[in-house]
Amino acid sequence: MAPAGLPTVEVPCALCGDTAAVALWSTPDRAFDVPGVGRIRVNVYASDEGICAAVRILRREPPALSDLNLPPQLEALVDLPHGLVIACGPTGSGKSTTLAALIQRALRMRPQVLVTLEDPIEYVIRPLRSSGLVRQREVGTHVRDFATGLRDALREDPDLLLIGEMRDPETISLALTAAETGHLVFATLHSRTAPAAVERIVDTYPPERQRQIRVQLADSLRAVISQRLIPNADGSGRIPAVELLRVTYGVANLIREGRTAQIVNALQAGGDDGMLVLERHLADLVRTNRIRRETALAVANDATALVEYLRTSG
Say which amino acid occupies 113: V
The β-bridge relationship of strands 8-12 and 19-23 is antiparallel
CATH, residue 92 = 3.40.50.300
- The answer on pLDDT for 20 being more than 70 is no
Whole domain around residue 264: which residue ranges? 65-276
Residue 189, domain member (yes or no): yes
pLDDT at 12: 46
Is the domain of 33 the same as that of 161?
no
53 shares its domain with 69: no
Half-sphere exposure of 108 (CA within 13 A, CB side): 13
Which residues lie closer than 8 Å to 118 by C-beta, 6 or more apart?
Answer: 136, 137, 138, 139, 162, 164
3-state secondary structure at position 140: coil
Residues 52 and 176 in one domain: no
- The Cα-based distances of 85 to 57, 80, 177 in angstroms read 26, 9, 13
Residues 28 and 157 in one domain: no
Supply the pLDDT for residue 2.
Answer: 43
Q: Using alpha carbons, list the distances in angstroms from residue 186 to 260, 304, 314.
A: 22, 32, 36
Query: Distance between terminal CA atoms of the chain?
Result: 52
Residues 206 and 102 in one domain: yes
Highest mean pLDDT among 40-49, 125-134, 282-291: 282-291
Q: Is the pLDDT of residue 3 over 80?
A: no
Residue 256 is assigned to a structural domain of this protein = yes
pLDDT tens figures, 247-286 = 999 999 999 999 999 999 999 999 999 999 999 999 999 9
Q: Is the dihedral of CA 240, 189, 51, 40 positive or negative?
A: positive
Mean pLDDT, residues 219-236 taken together: 94
52 shares its domain with 113: no
Residue 303 inside a domain? The answer is no
Q: What is the CA radius of gyration of the chain?
A: 20
Residue 313, C-beta contacts closer than 8 angstroms, at least 6 positions apart: 283, 284, 287
pTM: 0.87
Contact predicate 117/150, CB 8 Å: yes
Neighbours of 200 (CB within 10 A): 18
Q: What percentage of residues in the chain have a pLDDT greater than 70?
A: 89
Exposure string of 10-24, with b = 16+ CB inside 10 Å and e = fewer, is: ebebeeeeeebebbb
Binned at pLDDT 50, 70 and 90, residue 314 comes out as low
Whether 54 and 75 share a structural domain:
no
Question: Cα angle vertex 97, ends 94, 102, to 5°?
Answer: 125
Please indicate whether residue 289 or residue 33 has the higher confidence score (pLDDT).
Answer: 289
Q: Which pLDDT value is given to residue 25?
A: 44
Give domain status of residue 255, yes or no: yes
Say what the pLDDT of residue 22 is.
46
State residue 28's pLDDT score. Answer: 64
Total structural domains in the chain?
Answer: 2
pLDDT in tens, 159-207: 999 999 898 999 999 999 999 999 999 999 988 888 899 999 999 999 9
Question: Quick check: 98 pLDDT over 50?
Answer: yes
Instruction: Assign 10 a pLDDT band (cuts: 50, 70, 90).
Output: low
Q: Is residue 184 part of a domain?
A: yes
> Contact, 242 vs 225, CB < 8 A?
yes
**Residue 13: is its pLDDT beyond 60?**
no
Q: Are residues 223 and 272 in the same domain?
A: yes
Other CB atoms within a 10 A radius of the CB of residue 294 amount to: 8
Q: What pLDDT, in 10s, does the model give residues 125-155? A: 988 766 689 999 988 888 888 888 899 888 8
The residue among 155, 160, 172, 174 whose CA lies nearest residue 81 is: 160
Between 98 and 49, the higher pLDDT residue: 98
Give me the pLDDT at residue 11, please. 46
On whether both 150 and 36 belong to a single domain, the answer is no
* C-alpha–C-alpha distance, residues 117 and 91, integer Å: 18
pLDDT of residue 120: 86
The answer on 163 and 135 residing in a single domain is yes
Percent above pLDDT 90 for the chain: 59
Q: Helical H runs in 69-193?
A: 95-109, 146-153, 169-180
- Indicate the burial class of 82 (C-beta count within 10 angstroms; 0-12, 13-18, 19 or more): middle
- Residue 292 is assigned to a structural domain of this protein: no
pLDDT over threshold 50, residue 24 = no
Structural contact between residues 175 and 193, judged by C-beta atoms closer than 8 angstroms? no
Compute CA distances 241 → 7, 28, 62, 200, whole Å.
40, 30, 19, 21
Residue 117 lies in a domain: yes
The answer to whether 287 touches 314, Cβ cutoff 8 Å, is yes
Q: 54: pLDDT confidence band, cut at 50, 70 and 90?
A: confident
- d(Cα 70, Cα 86) in Å, to the nearest integer? 16
Judge if 91 and 12 occupy the same domain: no
Position 41 confidence tier, pLDDT thresholds 50, 70, 90: confident
116 and 24, same domain (yes or no): no
